A and B are shown apart, each in its own frame.
Chain A
Amino acid sequence: MNTPANLKYTKSDEWFDSASGAMGITDYAQSQLSDIVFVEILVEVGDTLEAGKAIASVESVKASAEIYASASGKVTAVNSGLSDKPETLNSDPFGAGWMVKVEGGKAADTMDAAAYEKYCAERTH
């Protein structure tokens, strides 16, 4: 499982990149969901995000999940290409699979990579 060291992580398996302001779902999350077939981003450019509020809805072949904002801030970009290629979330969750970018983003209740890896390991047993 991939857990980039430069990112912050939430307990609900989202990541936040404080350098670029991007957020999305983790490698662990995509592997738990399995093949993702539908993504709907629920926020628009200009919206003000509150950490912990839903930003997207994702459906896989076996599950449906709400994705929550890993940071607060003002939305500057939305990855609208995901709706046509939802499988990007499986193949590249930390790169092309970014969902929303914010400016002035402040992460809330997040862990560093080491803590998140430990958190995931606990749940897989």
Chain B
Amino acid sequence: MTYIPHSPKERDAMLATIGVKSLEDLFKDIPAKHRFPNLDLPPALTEMEAAAELAELAESNENVHGDLISFLGAGAYNHYIPAVINHIISRGEFYTAYTPYQPEISQGTLQAAFEYQSLISALTGMDVSNASHYDGATAAAEAVNMAYAQFRGKRKKVVISPTVHPQYRAVIRTYTQGMSVEVAGDNAEANLESGPEALASLVDENTMLVIVQYPDFFGRVYDYAALIESAHSKGALVCVVANPTALGLFKTPGAMGADIVVGEGQPLGIPMWFGGPWLGFFTTKKAFVHKMAGRLVGETVDSRGQRAYVLTLTSREQHIKRERATSNICTNQGLLALASAVYMSVLGKNGMKQVAELCYHKAHYAAEQLSKIEGYGMCFPEPFFHEFVLCCPKPASEVNAHLLEHGILGGYDLGQDYPALKNHLLIAVTEMNSREDIDTLVDALSEVDHE
């Protein structure tokens, strides 16, 4: 049975329209031998056999739900995901990735997006949130696009902290190639011990945007208010890449004066999977809303005086503004935005704070215990949230190999991105790590030392 809906007559009409005699002619530019290559495939399996084979392949994965104890973070965090999230997002009314293209008939979808925006705005302390981007890295790159549009291309420099996630910095460079944008501040010689003040000296009249991370890639928590004030005095905007879990506990970037706050929404009820699909959140001040990319849902009143939801300020978007739009990247993270909205509403303000406190205290217990092991120590003295840099007596890769033998997924090997930190592990601790887990890690590392 074929599912091709066109009749031979319709096909002939289409071919005649474009001036091609036969279907064969349409593909004549592709050499005949490549058109139907002989694929060397094993005999077909039955569904039952295929399922068994795939299950066997999947067995070789080691997961963090029983197989391994994980202390790996670096942008992806192992948090508890309440069961209700999957139940709600699996409902037929919601089960689509897209914000619909004829949106107003889908009031439920729009209301969910509106509530997501409201929750994210409250969490970041900002005026307005869009309906999401792909992930934290692309949201950070969109902040550069927005700043570029805000200054109409007249300012060309982005100052970025070396302790913004290395992959986010790589994505920003990918996005801005060909835009004649200079990215400064995060070169290999950058001082990783100096605080945010060091960045201020790089901000000049040509700087459109300063980007910092909160907590930074090493887990450190800084108040960026002074840096933001200093950047504003040069007319530059400031973007804070924030961890949403940390925002349940700490001062919001909005309260520090940030112009744009972006981040990775994965910690808000989305599995780590294999690095995605996740969720990028993007918020800004009301003054910049016309330069913000992405969809935006607003609340209004319909012709009968009832509360209703609409896509708002759509004329700034790509389908109307075309090549003059701030960005031509749309998003299909609607379902994941819904998951995070359910997460935030189920936990509530107090629940978000509790999760953050659990992470904070467990991470500090781990740091204290690990520092007692001979040869190990805390790399930085600054306050931290749920991640910290541990100095090791040998290369991090060797320490991790040893830990894996003990059923522990160790920290992130910082030598991959920071050559000076070859013997350093970035350790993440969340509410999912019990005291026993942490003690197991400490015991395993104490053993390394005696080898």
| Residues of A near any B CB (own CB < 8 A) | 37-38, 40, 42, 57, 59-64, 66
Contact = CB atoms under 8 A, between A and B. Distances in A.
B349 to A, nearest CB: 33
B324 A37 contact: no
A59 B315 contact: yes
B147 to A, nearest CB: 15
B133 interface: no
A40 B291 CA distance: 11
A64 B321 contact: yes
B316 A38 contact: yes
B313 interface: yes
Contacts, number: 27
Given A40-B290, A42-B152, A59-B316, 10 more contacts: A38-B313, A38-B315, A38-B316, A59-B290, A61-B314, A63-B315, A64-B315, A64-B320, A64-B321, A64-B324
24 contacts: A37-B313, A37-B315, A38-B290, A38-B313, A38-B315, A38-B316, A40-B290, A42-B152, A57-B324, A59-B290, A59-B313, A59-B315, A59-B321, A61-B314, A61-B315, A62-B320, A63-B315, A63-B320, A64-B315, A64-B316, A64-B320, A64-B321, A64-B324, A66-B324
Interface string B258-302: 000000000000000000000000000000001000000000000
A47 B290 CA distance: 24
Interface of B: 152, 290, 313-316, 320-321, 324
Contact of A62 (B290, B315, B316): B315
A37 B296 CA distance: 15
B25 to A, nearest CB: 42
Nearest to A33: B315
User: Dominant SS at the A interface?
Assistant: strand
A82 to B, nearest CB: 13
B315 A60 contact: yes
Contacts of B315: 37-38, 59-64
Contacts of A66: 324
A63 to B, nearest CB: 6
B289 to A, nearest CB: 9
Contacts of A60: 315
A22 B290 CA distance: 26
A110 B341 CA distance: 54
Contacts of A38: 290, 313, 315-316
Contacts of A63: 315, 320
B320 to A, nearest CB: 5
Contacts of A40: 290
A79 to B, nearest CB: 17
Nearest to A66: B324
Nearest to A59: B315
Contacts of B314: 61
Nearest to A58: B315
B232 to A, nearest CB: 19
A118 to B, nearest CB: 30
A99 to B, nearest CB: 16
B387 to A, nearest CB: 41
Contacts of B313: 37-38, 59
Contacts of B320: 62-64
A62 B314 CA distance: 7
Contacts of A62: 315, 320
Nearest to B322: A64
A66 B315 CA distance: 12
A31 B316 CA distance: 19
A37 B314 CA distance: 11
The 5 lowest CB-CB distance pairs between A and B, nearest first, are: A59-B315, A64-B321, A64-B315, A38-B290, A64-B320
B118 to A, nearest CB: 21
A19 B336 CA distance: 58
A61 B313 CA distance: 7
Nearest to B316: A59
A79 B324 CA distance: 22
Contacts of A37: 313, 315
A46 to B, nearest CB: 14
A100 to B, nearest CB: 15
